[in-house]
Structure formats: structure tokens, C-alpha cells
């Protein structure tokens, strides 16, 4: 029996969270600066509970968010609770975000991730510190990840550092991201580098990115190439994503294989939003191995989404066909997902697997 991919299982939650985040993050930088000058306000509390049914089993997942303004920024605390029995109110995960805006416009953030320690106490397991600086059309981001010392003495050790430089206007931008990690001797070196360029026009948008990782000799070499293109027409929008990755079978003469080429067409007809997508790949769907039965990319997934809205309610039906690793000879129906949203925002999602 097939199971839905993670993006389908959590779609209802992601849709609700995206709406909330869009509303919360809509304020302009100028408005944020003015708000920072105000006195601390009362906390804003948001709580959402999802009932998830798997056959005869039903479990509840609650996501909470508390946001409080401070003199120079804000503090947001996010929690996830998943009860195992009635009255179980334990916290599964908590993340605390401290945001501070400096007088020169620099934004500093600190993320503290906490997990239960087995005795129903939340303890920090990771800290991420971020600093965002802007100057004209250039943005610089410094990010550092720290983990607790193995000795448990309250010391924190940096394990990862990121630096991102972004430059350009809305029509053309370029970003360079570098990730550094310490080696066995404690020296920091670049272990991941990605360069992305984007271009926008009234007709659409396109981007090109190249990611580099260390090769067998420890030198940075092209590992992944990704191209995206969005075009607009009278019949609807077309989005194309092509992702190629290096085949490490060849060390000195690297070759690239196609991980995915997905073409998505979005159109509206008879009051319905219709999205059809087709994915080709050298990799068998549902697995990480190359398809040795074919010497060229094959269709591994076909997806059709129909979104119908009316009288405040919404119904989305997704039908998926896949080429499975167990039988890569053809594309067959895999599963169907039906998601219904009523006028009050309650979401009901049903997963229907295909017959084997």
C-alpha cells in the first residue's frame, strides 16, 4: 500500500501556517522600526489543533505561537503538542525566536530550539544566531549554529557557519551562499557553496543555480545544477524546474544525471483552478537508485490537481500516478488526496491509496 509523500500529509497545516505568516509578516520595515519604539505590548497568542485520523486511530496535534513586542524588537515562542492520551499536555518541541532591530537597521535574530529531556523538562539542543545587514541593493547574512557541549557543562560549540551575499534589483539578482564547518584539526573550511542568479520580466521569471561540494580530492566541484523558469500566457502559467546532479561513479570525468524535470501548467476553467504536472527523471520514483532499465529519462510522476471554490468552502482533489521502483515498467495510479475546507477554516483531508 502506498503512503502519501510528506508534502501531501502536511499540506493542510502548511496552508494554514502560510496564511498566518503572511498576515504577520506584512508590515513594512519602516512600520517595524516605529513599532520597535513603542512600549512592550501584551502577548499575541495563536493556537491551532489538528485531528489526524489513520484508520481507526485518531491523534491530536496542537501548534501554538506566542508573540510579544519588546523595546527593540520582539520575542516569539512556538510550541508543538501531540497528546498520547486524554489530558496529556506535554510539549513535543519548542522554538524561541528573539528579534532585535539596531538603530542602523541591522536585524539580529537568535533561535533557541528545545526538546524534552525524558523527564518532561524542555532543554535547549540548538542555538542559531543570525545577523542581517543591508546597504543599498546589497544584503549580507551571517548565520552561526551552536550545539551543546557533549560534557553537559553548559558550554556551546559552533558547528556550522553560513555567509550569504545578495545583490541586485528586483529585475536581476545574484546571491552567493557559503557554508563552513570545522575539520578534525579545528580549522574551518567551505564545505558547501551555492551561486544563484535570477531574472524577472513581465513575461515571467527564470533562475539558475550551481551548488558545489568537495570532491574525492577535497576540492569544491559542481555537484548540483538547478534551472527554474516561469512563463505567462493567455492559457495560464507554466512553471518548469530542471535539477541535475553529479554522478560520483566517475571521479575524474564527472557526468550529471537528471534528478527531475517537472513541467507544471496552471489554468482556470469553469470556476475551477486546474494544475497539471509531469515529472521526468533518471531516478526511479520512490527510490534513490538510477533506472538501469532505460538509457534516457522517463516519466516518473503525473499529478492532476483540481481546486473548486464556492460559498466560502473549498475542495481540492489531487490524483497521482507514479512509476515505482518495484515495477518501473510503467506509470500507474498511486493515490488520491481529497482536502475539504469549510467556511470556518476547518480542514478535512482524506488519503485514498490505489489498489495494488
Sorting pLDDT into bands at 50, 70 and 90, what band is 217?
confident
Torsion angle of alpha carbons 187, 190, 192, 198, nearest 10°?
A: 150
pLDDT digits (tens, 9 = 90+) for 9-20: 444 444 444 444
**Residue 314 belongs to some domain of the structure:** no
Query: What is the extent of the structural domain holding 71?
Result: 35-130
**Residue 231 belongs to some domain of the structure:** no
Sorting pLDDT into bands at 50, 70 and 90, what band is 41?
low
Q: Which residue has the higher pLDDT, 34 or 174?
A: 174
**Residue 97 belongs to some domain of the structure:** yes
**Residue 91 belongs to some domain of the structure:** yes
Residue 244 has pLDDT above 90, yes or no: yes
**Residue 51 belongs to some domain of the structure:** yes
**Residue 254 belongs to some domain of the structure:** no
Sorting pLDDT into bands at 50, 70 and 90, what band is 293?
low
Burial class (CB in 10 A: 0-12, 13-18, 19+), 202: exposed
pLDDT digits (tens, 9 = 90+) for 69-85: 988 889 999 999 987 77
Sorting pLDDT into bands at 50, 70 and 90, what band is 330?
confident
Residue ranges of the alpha helices (H) in 221-356? Answer: none
**Residue 300 belongs to some domain of the structure:** no
pLDDT digits (tens, 9 = 90+) for 96-147: 999 999 999 999 999 999 999 888 889 999 999 999 999 999 999 999 999 9
Contacts of 315 (CB under 8 A, 6+ apart): 307, 308, 338, 339, 340, 341
**Residue 68 belongs to some domain of the structure:** yes
**Residues 271-295 as b or e (16 or more Cβ within 10 Å = b):** eebbbebbbbbbbbbbeeeebeeee
Q: Which residue has the higher pLDDT, 205 or 2?
A: 205
Q: Which residue has the higher pLDDT, 124 or 248?
A: 124
Greatest Cα pair distance, the chain, in angstroms, is 67
The structure's pTM equals 0.76
Which pLDDT score is estimated for 43? Answer: 58
Task: Give the integer Cα–Cα distance in Å for 272 and 355.
Answer: 28
Contacts of 295 (CB under 8 A, 6+ apart): none
Which pLDDT score is estimated for 291? Answer: 64
Number of domains the chain is built from:
1
DSSP state of 203: T
Q: Which residue has the higher pLDDT, 108 or 293?
A: 108
Amino acid at each position: 500500500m502506498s503512503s502519501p509523500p510528506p508534502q501531501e500529509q502536511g499540506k493542510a497545516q502548511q496552508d494554514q501556517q502560510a496564511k498566518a505568516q503572511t498576515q504577520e509578516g506584512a508590515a513594512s520595515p519602516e512600520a517595524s522600526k516605529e513599532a520597535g519604539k513603542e512600549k512592550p505590548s501584551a502577548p499575541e497568542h495563536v493556537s491551532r489543533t489538528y485531528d489526524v485520523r489513520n484508520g481507526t486511530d485518531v491523534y491530536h496535534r496542537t501548534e501554538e505561537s506566542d508573540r510579544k513586542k519588546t523595546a527593540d524588537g520582539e520575542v516569539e515562542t512556538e510550541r508543538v503538542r501531540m497528546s498520547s492520551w486524554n489530558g496529556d499536555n506535554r510539549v513535543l518541541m519548542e522554538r524561541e525566536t528573539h528579534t532585535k532591530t539596531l538603530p542602523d537597521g541591522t536585524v539580529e535574530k537568535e533561535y533557541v530550539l528545545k526538546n524534552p529531556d525524558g523527564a518532561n523538562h524542555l532543554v535547549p539542543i540548538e542555538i542559531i544566531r543570525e545577523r542581517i545587514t543591508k546597504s543599498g541593493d546589497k544584503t549580507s547574512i551571517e548565520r552561526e549554529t551552536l550545539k551543546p557541549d557533549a560534557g553537559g557543562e553548559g558550554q556551546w560549540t559552533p558547528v556550522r557557519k553560513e555567509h550569504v551575499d545578495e545583490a541586485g534589483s528586483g529585475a536581476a539578482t545574484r546571491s552567493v551562499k557559503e557554508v563552513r564547518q570545522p575539520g578534525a584539526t579545528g580549522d574551518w573550511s567551505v564545505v558547501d557553496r551555492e551561486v544563484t542568479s535570477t531574472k524577472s520580466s513581465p513575461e515571467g521569471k527564470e533562475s539558475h543555480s550551481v551548488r558545489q561540494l568537495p570532491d574525492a580530492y577535497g576540492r569544491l566541484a559542481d555537484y548540483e545544477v538547478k534551472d527554474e523558469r516561469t512563463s505567462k500566457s493567455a492559457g495560464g502559467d507554466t512553471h518548469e524546474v530542471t535539477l541535475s546532479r553529479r554522478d560520483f561513479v566517475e571521479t575524474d570525468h564527472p557526468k550529471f544525471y537528471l534528478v527531475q524535470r517537472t513541467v507544471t501548467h496552471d489554468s482556470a476553467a469553469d470556476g475551477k483552478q486546474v494544475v497539471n504536472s509531469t515529472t521526468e527523471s533518471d531516478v526511479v520514483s520512490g527510490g534513490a537508485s538510477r533506472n538501469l532499465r532505460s538509457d534516457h529519462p522517463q516519466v516518473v510522476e503525473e499529478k492532476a490537481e483540481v481546486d473548486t471554490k464556492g460559498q466560502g468552502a473549498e475542495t481540492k482533489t489531487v490524483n497521482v500516478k507514479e512509476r515505482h521502483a518495484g515495477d518501473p515498467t510503467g506509470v500507474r495510479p498511486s493515490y488520491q488526496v481529497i482536502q475539504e475546507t469549510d467556511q470556518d477554516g476547518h480542514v478535512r483531508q482524506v488519503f485514498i491509496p490505489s489498489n495494488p
